[in-house]
């Protein structure tokens, strides 16, 4: 049931049918109320200076946009970096230090899938999950971080930071619940808009390719993968952040007669301990030097 609801909502936001378009119009009064409340929250916030360089990567809409690979590319570039994120889909609450500068302190169930990507792809970085980003920032400072990257931090207007926003095309520019927009780019709110193919480019490497692969993925808007996919026996979509069981994947391998399961890195970190045959769609971003120059010019001298 959860899977059906999640996919229905993604369709409603990004590829609505006639009935969903009608619903969207009906919800417009609620969208105006929602957007006004979010605006008041923004106006009432005063950015607090934590005495450390903080860079946020976010987007205005619901769903995936490339925040994780962009944060990864940026944090890889700087020594003594930390990544602080909420940790969607994790089986824990509160602040958890997933990795200090030396060692991993929990498993993927506790950290959530995105945090574990950062652990594996940025070996030198501190990684912290926390619903309260301010607490996460303070803990990262205590652990020795010199620059902190916030995954999905645009709405944290109480934090003094450099804001990057990934530009995402959408046929529906209405606020929730009429559309996918979580928050507007408010006037007087400074943010740097980053565009794909201009400020960054996606690169996908297919690793451990087999002759017969079945795609399994639990990412938002899984259709985004189509342009990168090799030939596969089947496409098996699960809701974003789904926690796989070994038997689920074994059933797909058996049903398709597949040699391996084809996964994104976000899914791989949740199933690598299963010992199954895995092929990997490894996505990373090549970031234009201009973006790093913006960060360097923002940093404290």
Q: What is the pTM of this model?
A: 0.92
- Are the beta carbons of 218 and 212 closer than 8 angstroms? no
Measure the CA–CA gap between 108 and 10, rounded to whole angstroms. Answer: 25
- Are the beta carbons of 48 and 133 closer than 8 angstroms? no
pLDDT of residue 220: 85
pLDDT of residue 99: 97
Residue whose tokens read 């789904």: 242
Q: 42-201+287-298 has which fold?
A: Rossmann fold (3.40.50)
225-234 pLDDT per residue, tens: 888 899 999 9
Q: How many residues does the chain have?
A: 301
pLDDT > 70 in the chain, percent: 99
The candidate with the shortest Cα–Cα distance to 182, out of 161, 156, 144, 159, is: 156
Measure the CA–CA gap between 149 and 297, rounded to whole angstroms. Answer: 16
How far is CA 114 from each of CA 64, 171, 264, 275, rounded to the nearest angstrom? Answer: 12, 27, 12, 21
Residues 238-247 have a mean pLDDT of: 91
pLDDT confidence tier of residue 301, bands split at 50, 70 and 90: low
Domain with CATH 3.40.50 in the chain: 42-201+287-298, 202-284
- For 202-284, CATH gives 3.40.50
pLDDT, averaged across the chain: 93
Burial class (CB in 10 A: 0-12, 13-18, 19+), 96: buried
- Are the beta carbons of 100 and 121 closer than 8 angstroms? no
31-85 pLDDT per residue, tens: 999 999 999 999 999 999 999 999 999 999 887 778 999 999 999 999 999 999 9
């Amino acid at each position: 049931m959860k899977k059906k609801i999640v996919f229905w909502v993604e369709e409603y936001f990004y590829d609505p049918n006639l009935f969903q378009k009608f619903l969207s119009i009906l919800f417009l009064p609620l969208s105006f109320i929602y957007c006004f409340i979010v605006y008041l929250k923004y106006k009432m916030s005063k950015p607090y200076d934590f005495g450390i360089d903080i860079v946020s990567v976010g987007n205005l809409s619901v769903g995936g946009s490339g925040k994780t690979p962009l944060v990864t590319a940026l944090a890889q570039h700087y020594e003594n970096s930390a990544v602080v994120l909420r940790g969607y889909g994790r089986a824990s609450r509160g602040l958890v230090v997933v990795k200090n500068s030396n060692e991993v302190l929990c498993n993927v169930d506790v950290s959530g899938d995105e945090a574990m990507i950062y652990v594996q792809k940025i070996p030198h970085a501190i990684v912290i999950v926390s619903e309260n980003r301010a607490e996460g920032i303070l803990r990262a400072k205590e652990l020795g971080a010199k620059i902190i990257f916030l995954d999905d931090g645009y709405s944290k207007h109480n934090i003094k930071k450099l804001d990057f926003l990934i530009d995402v095309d959408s046929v529906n520019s209405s606020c929730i619940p009429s559309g996918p927009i979580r928050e507007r780019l408010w006037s007087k709110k400074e943010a740097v808009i980053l565009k794909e193919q201009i400020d960054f480019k996606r690169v996908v490497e297919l690793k451990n390719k087999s002759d017969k692969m079945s795609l399994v993925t639990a990412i938002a808007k899984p259709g985004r993968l189509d342009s990168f996919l090799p030939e596969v026996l089947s496409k098996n979509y699960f809701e974003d952040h789904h926690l796989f069981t070994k038997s689920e994947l074994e059933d797909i391998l058996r049903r398709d007669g597949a040699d391996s399961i084809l996964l994104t890195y976000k899914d791989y970190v949740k199933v690598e301990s299963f010992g199954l045959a895995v092929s990997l769609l490894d996505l990373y971003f090549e970031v234009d030097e201009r973006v790093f120059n913006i960060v360097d010019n923002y940093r404290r001298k």
